[in-house]
Amino acid sequence: MGTSSLSITSLAHPAQSADLVERGKKVLMQTYATQSIVLSQGSGAYVIDFDGNKYLDFASGIAVNALGHCHPAYVEAVSSQLLKLSHCSNLYYNLPAIELAEKLIDASPFSRAFFCNSGAEAIEAALKLSRKYTKKYKGEQCTTVLTMSNSFHGRTYGAMSATGQTKYQNGYAPLVPDFKTVVFNDFDSLLVHDPDTVAAIVIEPVQGEGGVHLVDPLFLKKVRDYCTAQKVVLIFDEIQCGIGRSGKFFAWENFGIAPDVVALAKGLGGGFPIGAILATEEVASAFNPGDHGSTFGGNPLAASAALACLSEIKNEGFLRQVRASAEYLEAALLALQAQVPAIKAWRGLGLMQGLELDCPVKPIVQRCAELGLLLVGAGENVIRFLPPLTVSFEEIDGAIAMLSMALA
Ligand SMILES: Cc1ncc(COP(=O)(O)O)c(C=O)c1O
Confidence of residue 5 (pLDDT cuts 50, 70, 90): very low
Confidence of residue 13 (pLDDT cuts 50, 70, 90): low
Q: Is the dihedral of CA 354, 357, 362, 365 positive or negative?
A: negative
For the stretch 212-256, pLDDT in tens is 999 999 999 999 999 999 999 999 999 999 999 999 999 999 999
User: What is the whole-number distance in angstroms between the Cα of residue 159 and the centre of ligand 1?
Assistant: 9
User: What is the whole-number distance in angstroms between the Cα of residue 339 and the centre of ligand 1?
Assistant: 33
Q: Give the pLDDT score at 159.
A: 98
- Kind plus residue range of the DSSP H or E element containing 182: strand 179-182
Q: Give the pLDDT score at 1.
A: 41
Number of the ligand 1 atom closest to the C-alpha atom of 275: 10
The answer to whether residue 11 scores a pLDDT higher than 60 is no
Probe ligand 1: pick from 207, 235, 240, max atoms within 8 Å of CB? 240
Confidence of residue 387 (pLDDT cuts 50, 70, 90): very high
List ligand 1's pocket residues with C-beta within 6 A: 62, 118-120, 123, 152-154, 204, 208-209, 237, 239-240, 265
Q: How far is CA 51 from the centre of its chain?
A: 29
The answer to whether residue 316 scores a pLDDT higher than 60 is yes
CB pairs under 8 A, 24+ apart, for 280-284? 280/109, 280/110, 280/111, 281/111, 281/112, 282/133, 283/129, 283/130, 283/133, 283/233, 284/111, 284/112, 284/114, 284/129
Number of the ligand 1 atom closest to the C-alpha atom of 123: 4
For the stretch 65-85, pLDDT in tens is 999 999 999 999 999 999 999
User: What is the whole-number distance in angstroms between the Cα of residue 209 and the centre of ligand 1?
Assistant: 9
Residue owning the nearest CA to atom 8 of ligand 1: 119
User: What is the whole-number distance in angstroms between the Cα of residue 121 and the centre of ligand 1?
Assistant: 9
Number of the ligand 1 atom closest to the C-alpha atom of 241: 1
Mean pLDDT of 393-399: 98
d(CA 184, CA 219): 9
In whole numbers, what is the pLDDT of the chain averaged over residues? 96
User: What is the whole-number distance in angstroms between the Cα of residue 240 and the centre of ligand 1?
Assistant: 7
Report strand pairing: 46-49 vs 39-43.
Answer: antiparallel
- Comparing 189 with 5, the larger pLDDT belongs to 189
Number of the ligand 1 atom closest to the C-alpha atom of 208: 16
For the stretch 98-136, pLDDT in tens is 999 999 999 999 999 999 999 999 999 999 999 999 999
Q: Give the pLDDT score at 90.
A: 97
Domain ranges for the chain: 73-313, 316-344+364-374+384-408
The percent of residues above 90 in pLDDT, for the chain, comes to 95
Alpha helices in 51-156 (DSSP H): 60-63, 72-82, 95-105, 119-138
The answer to whether residue 8 scores a pLDDT higher than 70 is no
Probe ligand 1: pick from 264, 266, 349, max atoms within 8 Å of CB? 266
The answer to whether residue 4 scores a pLDDT higher than 80 is no
User: DSSP class of residue 108?
Assistant: S
For the stretch 128-182, pLDDT in tens is 999 999 999 999 999 999 999 999 999 999 999 999 999 999 999 999 999 999 9
Number of the ligand 1 atom closest to the C-alpha atom of 120: 11
Residue owning the nearest CA to atom 13 of ligand 1: 154
Q: Which fold has domain 73-313?
A: Aspartate Aminotransferase; domain 2 (3.40.640)
Which three-class secondary structure state does DSSP give residue 384?
strand
Q: Give the pLDDT score at 9.
A: 53
User: DSSP class of residue 94?
Assistant: -
Q: Give the pLDDT score at 16.
A: 85
Confidence of residue 7 (pLDDT cuts 50, 70, 90): low
